[in-house]
Amino acid sequence: MASEGLAARMAAVGLLGAVLGEGRLMAQVLADPQGPLAGLPPGDRARAQRLALAVLRHVEPADQVLAPHLRKSPPRLVRDAMRLAVVEIALGGAAHGAVNAAVEIVRRGKRTAPFAGLVNAVLRKVPADPFAGLPPQRMPRWLRQPLVHAYGRDGVTAMEAVQAMTPPLDLTLRAGAEAPEGAVLPTGTLRLEEKGQVSALPGYAAGGWWVQDAAAALAVGLLAPQAGERVLDLCAAPGGKTLQLAAAGAAVTAVDLSEPRMARLRENLSRCGLAADLITADALEWQPDQAFDAVLLDAPCSATGTIRRHPDLPFVKDGSELPALVELQARLLDRALGMVRPGGRVVFCTCSLLPDEGEGQLAAALARHPGLRVERVALPGVDEAWWTAEGGLRLRPDLWADRGGMDGFFMVRLGL
Ligand SMILES: C[S@@+](CC[C@H](N)C(=O)[O-])C[C@H]1O[C@@H](n2cnc3c(N)ncnc32)[C@H](O)[C@@H]1O
C-alpha cells in the first residue's frame, strides 16, 4: 500500500536530484513542465517544494547523522531519500511515516531497490532529535571566507543559524488595506508565521498587499518618493518596489531586461490596481527622454542575502559569476546616476551579503564621481547599528533573528 504523502515525497526527492545532482536552480526546476512536479495536484506540489527546501537547509547535518551508518556512499536517490527522512524526523515529523516513505521510494527504483533493507536499517537508528548538538549548515567556502572576513566567525554562524530556519512570509501593506493576521514589524512590514497558499490569504484579490521581505521593503523608504515625482525603477521586475513606489503616488517608469519577469510585474500591478510605465529593455542601452527626480537601482547580484528563502543557491553557484556581476553593477549605477536630474537622488541596492556588491560599490562610485554625496534619512524601525560609517544600510539575515531574521541587503542613497 502506498504510504500517505508518498507522491509529494517522491517529487521532493526528484527536486533534490535536480538541484544537488544536476546543479539546477530550484526556480528553473519548478518552472520546468517536464520537471519532478509535473502532474501533481497543487497540495502535493506545495508539500514537495516545502520538503525539498527543508532538506536543502539541512543537507550537512543530515549527512553527519547518516555518515556513521554508511560504509560507502549509496546512489544519489537513496541518499536523498534518507536525507529527507532524517530532516522530517528532525523537524518533528512522525518517524515511522518518514522511514516507511524513504524505504518505499527506494524500493520503486530498479537500481535502488537493493538498498531498501539498508535504508530501513539505517533510518531506524536515527534518534528522535537527530540534529541536537550539531552546528547549522555552513555556507560554501567561496562565500563563507569573504563573509568571515567582513562579519567575523560568530556573525557568519549567526547568519547560518537563521538560514537553517523556515523563513516567515513578509507582506508590504498599503494604508488601510485588508490584510491577514500577523505581527507588524517596527519597519511596518506585516510578518506571518503560518503561510499556506498566498492567494488564499485575506485581501489578496483586493490587492492591498504584496509579498516582500522586510529588508527589501526598506529601499523605497530610503528613496522617500513623493506624490507626483517622476521616479525610475531600474531593474524593476517582478516589482515589489515598483508597487511601493506607485502606491506612494509617484509617476513610475519601470525598466527590466526580462520579459517573463516583466509579465509578473504587469500582473502584480493589475492585481493591486496600480499603474507604472513598463519598458522591457537593457538598462545599459535604454535612454530616457527626460531626467528623473529619483532612481531606484535594485541591481542584479549574487543574491546571497536570500539564501534562507533560496537554500538551493549555495549548492548551484560557485562564485564564478561574481566579477562579471560586480562590473555590471558599477556600469548600471553609472547609468542610473546619468538619468537623474541635478539635485535628484539615486538609491543603489543589492540583496547580497558580499561587501564587493555593496560597501565596495559605494566606495568605488564615490571615487568615480567626486561630487556625489551619501544621504541618510530617518527610517522608522531601523536600528542605528544597521547604518555603516559611510552612510549605507547593511542588513543581514541574523538581524531580528528572534523574529525570523530578514534578507541580507546593502542599500545606500546618493545625492547629486
Ligand atoms: C534583484 S532583481 C530586481 C528585483 C525587483 N527590483 C523587485 O523588487 O522585485 C534584478 C533584476 O535586474 C534585471 N536585469 C539584469 N540585467 C539587466 C539589465 N542590463 N537591464 C535591465 N534589467 C536587468 C533582471 O531581469 C532582474 O529582474
* Domain CATH number, residue 184: 3.40.50.150
Q: Over the stretch 323-339, which tens digit does the pLDDT of each residue have?
A: 999 999 999 999 999 99
Is residue 163's pLDDT more than 90?
yes
Ligand 1 pocket, 236 CB below 6 A? yes
Q: Which residues pair with 199 in a beta bridge?
A: none
pLDDT the model gives residue 197: 83
What strands, in cross-sheet order, belong to the sheet with 169-173? 183-184, 190-192, 169-173, 209-211
Q: CB count, 10 Å around CB of 379?
A: 17
Whether residue 140 is contained in a domain is answered as: no
Answer yes or no: do 100 and 202 share one domain. no
Answer yes or no: do 234 and 346 share one domain. yes
Buried b (16+ CB within 10 A) or exposed e, 122-149: bbeebeeebbeeeebbebeeebbebbee
Strand 251-256 and strand 230-234: the pairing is parallel
| Sequence-ordered alpha helix ranges (H) in 273-321 | 313-316
Q: Which of 257, 331, 333, 349 to mutate to test the pocket of ligand 1 (most atoms within 8 A of CB)?
A: 257
Answer yes or no: do 186 and 97 share one domain. no
Ligand 1 pocket, 219 CB below 6 A? no
Measure 111 CA to ligand 1 centroid, in angstroms. 43
Ligand 1 pocket, 300 CB below 6 A? yes
Measure 4 CA to ligand 1 centroid, in angstroms. 41
Is residue 1's pLDDT more than 60?
no
Set of cell numbers at residue 112: 535502488
Burial class (CB in 10 A: 0-12, 13-18, 19+), 43: exposed
Per-residue pLDDT, averaged over 235-264, amounts to 97
Set of cell numbers at residue 356: 564587493
Is residue 201's pLDDT more than 80?
yes
Ligand 1 pocket, 240 CB below 6 A? yes
Whether residue 143 is contained in a domain is answered as: no
Please choose, from the candidates 298, 291, 308, the residue with its C-alpha nearest in 3D space to the C-alpha of residue 237.
298
Q: Over the stretch 90-121, which tens digit does the pLDDT of each residue have?
A: 999 999 999 999 999 999 999 999 999 999 99
Please choose, from the candidates 358, 379, 362, the residue with its C-alpha nearest in 3D space to the C-alpha of residue 224.
379
Whether residue 132 is contained in a domain is answered as: no
Q: Can you tell me whether residue 343 is helix, strand or coil? A: strand
Answer yes or no: do 104 and 232 share one domain. no
Ligand 1 pocket, 280 CB below 6 A? no
Answer yes or no: do 224 and 291 share one domain. yes
Q: Over the stretch 289-308, which tens digit does the pLDDT of each residue have?
A: 999 999 999 999 999 999 99
Measure 284 CA to ligand 1 centroid, in angstroms. 12
Q: Which residue has the cell 555556507?
A: 139
Whether residue 56 is contained in a domain is answered as: yes
Please choose, from the candidates 125, 103, 124, the residue with its C-alpha nearest in 3D space to the C-alpha of residue 114.
103
Is residue 268's pLDDT more than 90?
yes
Does 301 qualify as catalytic in the annotation? no
Please choose, from the candidates 107, 125, 55, the residue with its C-alpha nearest in 3D space to the C-alpha of residue 83.
55
Whether residue 80 is contained in a domain is answered as: yes
Q: Can you tell me whether residue 180 is helix, strand or coil? A: coil
pLDDT the model gives residue 126: 97
**What's phi and psi for 163, nearest 5 deg?**
-65, -20
Measure 354 CA to ligand 1 centroid, in angstroms. 18
- Looking from the CA of residue 233, the nearest atom of ligand 1 is 6
Answer yes or no: do 304 and 199 share one domain. yes
Strand 251-256 and strand 277-280: the pairing is parallel
Answer yes or no: do 282 and 410 share one domain. yes
Q: Which residues pair with 356 in a beta bridge?
A: none
Whether residue 43 is contained in a domain is answered as: yes
Cα dihedral 139, 142, 143, 146 sign? positive
Q: Over the stretch 8-52, which tens digit does the pLDDT of each residue have?
A: 999 999 999 999 999 999 999 999 999 999 999 999 999 999 999
Answer yes or no: do 178 and 49 share one domain. no
Q: Over the stretch 272-288, which tens digit does the pLDDT of each residue have?
A: 999 999 999 999 999 99
Give nearest CA residue, ligand 1 atom 12: 235
| CB-CB contact of 242 with 236 (8 Å) | yes
Residue 394: domain span: 169-415
Answer yes or no: do 185 and 119 share one domain. no
Whether residue 116 is contained in a domain is answered as: yes
**Residue that is last in its domain, among 123, 157, 188:** 123
In eight-state DSSP terms, residue 403 is G
Give nearest CA residue, ligand 1 atom 6: 236
Please choose, from the candidates 254, 258, 299, the residue with its C-alpha nearest in 3D space to the C-alpha of residue 274.
254
> In the chain, what percentage of residues exceed pLDDT 70?
99
Q: Over the chain, what is the mean pLDDT?
A: 96
pLDDT the model gives residue 346: 98
Total of domains in the chain: 2
Q: Which of 218, 256, 287 to mutate to test the pocket of ligand 1 (most atoms within 8 A of CB)?
A: 256
* pTM of the full structure: 0.95
Per-residue pLDDT, averaged over 190-201, amounts to 86
| CB-CB contact of 280 with 260 (8 Å) | no
